[in-house]
Amino acid sequence: MIYVKTASSISHQNSFQKESIWEDLHVLKADSVVISPDYKNYIPAAALRRLSPVLRMAMTAAQECQKAVEVEFDAISVGTALGCLKDTEKFLQTFISAASETLSPTAFIQSTHNTIGGQISLALGNHAYNMTHTQNSLSFEVALIDAMMCCREGKKNVLVGAADEAIDFLELLRNELIKTDRQFTSGASFFVLGSEPTKVSVADCSITFNSIDLSKEVDSFLSKNDLNHSDIDLVLHAGIELDSFKNSMNYEDYSGFHYSSSAFAFHIGHDFLKSVNANNVLIINAQMNEKLGLTLLKK
Amino acid sequence: MNELKENLKAQIIEQLNLEDLTTADIQDDANLFSDDGLGLDSIDALEFIVLLESEYGIKIADPSEGRDIFQSVNSLAAYIEKNR
Amino acid sequence: MIEIFVTGYGAISSIGNNVEEMLQSLLDEKSGIQKGKLPHSEKQLVGEIHFTNEELIKKFGLKTTGSRTGILGAIAAKEAFANHSINAEIRTGVISGTSVGGMDTSEIEYRNLLEEKPHNVANYQFHSSGNSSEQIAEELGIDGFINTISTACSSAANSIMMGARMIRQGMVDRVVVGGTDGLAGFTINGFRSLMIFDEEWCRPFDESRKGLNLGEGAGFLVLESAKSIEKSESTILARLRGWSNASDAYHQTASSPNGQGATLSMTEALSVAGMKPEEIDYINAHGTATPNNDLSESQAIINVFGSKIPPFSSTKAYTGHTLAASGGIEAVIAILAIQKGYLFPNLNHRNVIEETKLQPITTIQKVNKIRVVLSNSFGFGGNNSTIILSE
């Protein structure tokens, strides 16, 4: 069994350092902002000065997880769909409009996808396995699958999470490339998986591409886990309409739109199971239509 | 020379994103790269090269040359005076 | 323990459009590094592939269009998968590594935006790194697990490692693994800003080394379990015996002077393989020719192998540093070494590094047997990976 030891999110909800985010969840308004802590309290100035929002969020959430668990992580698995967008755009502007060949390197260095995982390992002085997965809307799911593999290989404290950030440029892609009416938001959610029993376990996570019949995929996922629709106490979904479950929420109402939002759904599901008399939570990530991520949390 | 040093400190703060510092916080002779100086690193050394070119028109082709030049505000100012 | 077999390989780089051409260049000691021929590359020495995207699509009869990274990946993956076919009984996946993704197309469009020229948003559709792996899967007709790993220069090695672990855990039966990166202005300018280039031909493990030459390309393996091979009836080329990933946690771009991360990854890979250091017949080093990497890696090699350093070389003076593809291309080179019994040289080497005095192989050598090869790939962010291949 793979248990969830702790959860930490920085999001457009007041989620940071909350014992449970379940009670205070509210539907986001159209102009919501990231509710972030004073990062100066978590990251030394020398490092902080270079860090874009996504890096600040991810590092702080990861550090909260380290504080809660204390033991050194023996694996770190991070998901991000678009990586460090702010620095990517900054470096594009730098080199395209450069007057000379002498270019400022900081934005380039900060722009690679694995800067998130790399900065986490630096901040924690961690020498373990450190992986960055990027598979669009399923980036968190793949990071989670890897983390679960690490647990099955005997790792005892695996940090897993995902983060993505919004930049103004994304508005240019709305409708044509990114089909959503929602506000583009940012978020980072991190968890620690391990073998010591806690209230919540991750039972299964699977991804499929080219899914033609989403409800059929959901049915076979449930039956693989010996469950019926009626066994599911809460479905957290995105990109799919459902009427066959007793209690369902569209998690994007609470996270806004970014491709790591299923990680936030994981946090919601986790806290729901901790605080309510319930047994099973199903997360259905169909944010990008036929690319489907299914995750099952159990008490 | 003092005006140059004062300008330099402001430019350093800007180029290296040292948000919380003022020019008064940077001593002329402090070793910028040591922990009791500003604790700068190799990425900052590259940013110094960018700064020297964009503000003073001085080109440094080999980053390893930079180590001595960038040691302190004093050494930077001296180098700029000599080469601009 | 489920054994991991290699039943396909494919590679494209500046030293060849396929594995056979690459082998010939290796034997001829012929480097692919020369002055770049395109606006974004013409100021550097690079290992460039001298075909446009359109020419590549036509030449290799690709279904896919789009970014150079996806196209190069499709070519090499297609070669690796050439003797395989889709079989409903064989669960097949694709895990690919990339650092730039579709940036080569995005940067052209973004320039239009900055220069207030007509801006076609559709051209950003290939941007995301995740798309390149989906392009490869679609090209091969694979409808199973797809993932993209982005850990800079260790991406392909990490993809190979994840594929092996998934087979071992019974999650897939067969997996196409490796990496791809096309040359983009973003990367060339990025490395320029780090002042990490050599204006001349790079000299890995040489005392006078100044920096790297960038390259582009893609390299892929097909990994399978024995049970899968019973159904696919594919030919075994090699075995994947060990793998590991560890973090240096020293600095974002520099490697630790004592080579801690690299020492950890090599040591653990040997442990996974159940092998001792003396069983390694050849090391294909990461050897980018930067002052920092080659010293750090040399120290790590000494830490692991002590006084009994196996023959080693960096082949980056042939191909340039192909970033996320390097672990994949170099895995193919490792297998060629095993199959053909050649130690491939560390070209352009004159003098050993003063501090560590390690002497790489400098001319091509035929030997009796190369049974086991260790290959290193180290990425920015202190991401250190090692894989071990054998006959």
User: Which positions 19-58 of A are in contact with C (Cβ < 8 Å)?
Assistant: none
Structure tokens at A123: 């901040």
CB contact under 8 A, B41 and C193: no
Q: Rounded to 5 degrees, what are φ and ψ at B3? A: -65, -40
Q: Where are the beta strands (DSSP E) in A28-134?
A: 75-79, 129-133
Structure tokens at A23: 């009670």
CB contact under 8 A, B46 and C194: yes
Q: Strands across the sheet with C34-35, in order?
A: C34-35, C45-47, C214-215
CA of B33 vs chain A CAs: smallest distance (Å): 12
Longest dimension (CA), chain C: 63
CB of A125 less than 8 A from some CB of C = yes
The DSSP secondary structure of A152-202, one letter per residue, reads HTT-SEEEEEEEE---GGGGGGBTTTB---SPB--EEEEEEEESS--S-EE
A157 and A257 belong to one structural domain: no
- Helix, strand, coil % in chain C, rounded to nearest 5: 35, 20, 40
Which of A144, A170, A194 is where one domain is finished? A194
Chain C residues whose beta carbon lies within 8 Å of the beta carbon of residue B33: none
A177 and A224 belong to one structural domain: no
Which stretches in chain C have pLDDT values below 50? Answer: none
CA of B40 vs chain A CAs: smallest distance (Å): 8
pLDDT, position A289: 78
pLDDT, position A69: 96
**Cα–Cα distance list, C289 to A19, B64, C263, C286 (Å):** 50, 16, 19, 9
Chain A residues whose beta carbon lies within 8 Å of the beta carbon of residue B35: none
Chain B residues whose beta carbon lies within 8 Å of the beta carbon of residue A106: 17, 43, 47
pLDDT, position A211: 84
Residues in CB range of C52: below 8 A, 6 or more apart = none
pLDDT > 90 fraction of chain A, expressed in percent and rounded: 93
CA of A160 vs chain C CAs: smallest distance (Å): 15
pLDDT, position C358: 98
Q: In whole angstroms, give the CA distance from residue C266 to residue C376.
A: 8
Give the domain range for residue A277. Answer: 201-298
Q: In whole angstroms, give the CA distance from residue C43 to residue C350.
A: 25
**Nearest to C266, CA basis, from C277, C257, C258:** C277
A172 C-beta neighbours (distance < 10 Å), count: 14
Residue where the block lists tokens 């020379």: B1
A257 and A187 belong to one structural domain: no
What is the DSSP code (8-state) at residue A228? -
Q: How far is CA C388 from the centre of its chain?
A: 14
A78 and A226 belong to one structural domain: no
User: Which positions 137-176 of A are in contact with C (Cβ < 8 Å)?
Assistant: 138-139, 142, 146, 149, 152-153, 172-173, 176
Chain C residues whose beta carbon lies within 8 Å of the beta carbon of residue B63: 195
The structural domains of chain C, with segments of one domain joined by +, span: 4-232, 241-390
Q: How far is CA A85 from the centre of its chain?
A: 16
Residue B38's pLDDT band (cuts 50, 70, 90) = confident
Are C4-232 and C241-390 the same fold in CATH? yes
- Nearest by CB to residue B50, choosing from A45, A50, A103, is A103
A142 and A261 belong to one structural domain: no
Mutate to test the interface with C, among A114, A119, A217 (most CBs of C within 10 A): A114
Which overall architecture, per CATH, does domain C4-232 show? 3-Layer(aba) Sandwich (3.40)
CA of A97 vs chain C CAs: smallest distance (Å): 8
pLDDT, position C252: 86
pLDDT, tens digit, 9 for 90 and up, residues A28-74? 998 999 999 999 999 988 889 999 999 999 999 999 999 999 999 99
**Cα–Cα distance list, A282 to A135, A192, A260 (Å):** 21, 19, 17
CATH number of the domain encompassing residue A143: 3.40.47.10
Residue B64's pLDDT band (cuts 50, 70, 90) = confident
**Cα–Cα distance list, C315 to A115, A146, B28, C244 (Å):** 27, 31, 47, 21
CB contact under 8 A, A106 and B59: no
User: Average of pLDDT values for A143-168?
Assistant: 98
**Nearest to C339, CA basis, from C285, C282, C277:** C282
A255 and A116 belong to one structural domain: no
User: Average of pLDDT values for B69-76?
Assistant: 93
A284 and A156 belong to one structural domain: no
pLDDT, position B65: 86
CB contact under 8 A, B63 and C254: no
Residue A1's pLDDT band (cuts 50, 70, 90) = very high
Q: In whole angstroms, give the CA distance from residue C132 to residue A58.
A: 25
Q: In whole angstroms, give the CA distance from residue C71 to residue C130.
A: 14
- Nearest by CB to residue C251, choosing from B41, B49, B63, is B41
What is C241-390's CATH number, 3.30.70.790, 3.40.47.10, 2.160.10.10, 3.40.50.150? 3.40.47.10
CA of C380 vs chain A CAs: smallest distance (Å): 8
**Nearest to A162, CA basis, from A193, A180, A181, A186:** A186
A54 and A155 belong to one structural domain: yes
A186 and A273 belong to one structural domain: no
The chains found to touch C (3+ Cβ pairs under 8 angstroms) are A, B
State the average pLDDT for chain A. 96
Residue A242's pLDDT band (cuts 50, 70, 90) = confident
Mutate to test the interface with A, among C146, C244, C323 (most CBs of A within 10 A): C146
User: Average of pLDDT values for A180-194?
Assistant: 97
- Nearest by CB to residue C149, choosing from A127, A132, A153, is A132
Q: In whole angstroms, give the CA distance from residue C304 to residue C281.
A: 14
The DSSP secondary structure of C129-153, one letter per residue, reads HHHHHHHHHHHHT--S-EEEE--GG
**Total structural domains within chain A:** 2
Chain A residues whose beta carbon lies within 8 Å of the beta carbon of residue C169: 149, 152
Which of A147, A167, A194 is where one domain is finished? A194
Q: In whole angstroms, give the CA distance from residue A58 to residue A164.
A: 9
CB contact under 8 A, C195 and B49: yes
User: So which residues of C are the catalytic ones?
Assistant: 153, 286, 321
A237 and A176 belong to one structural domain: no
pLDDT, position B36: 80
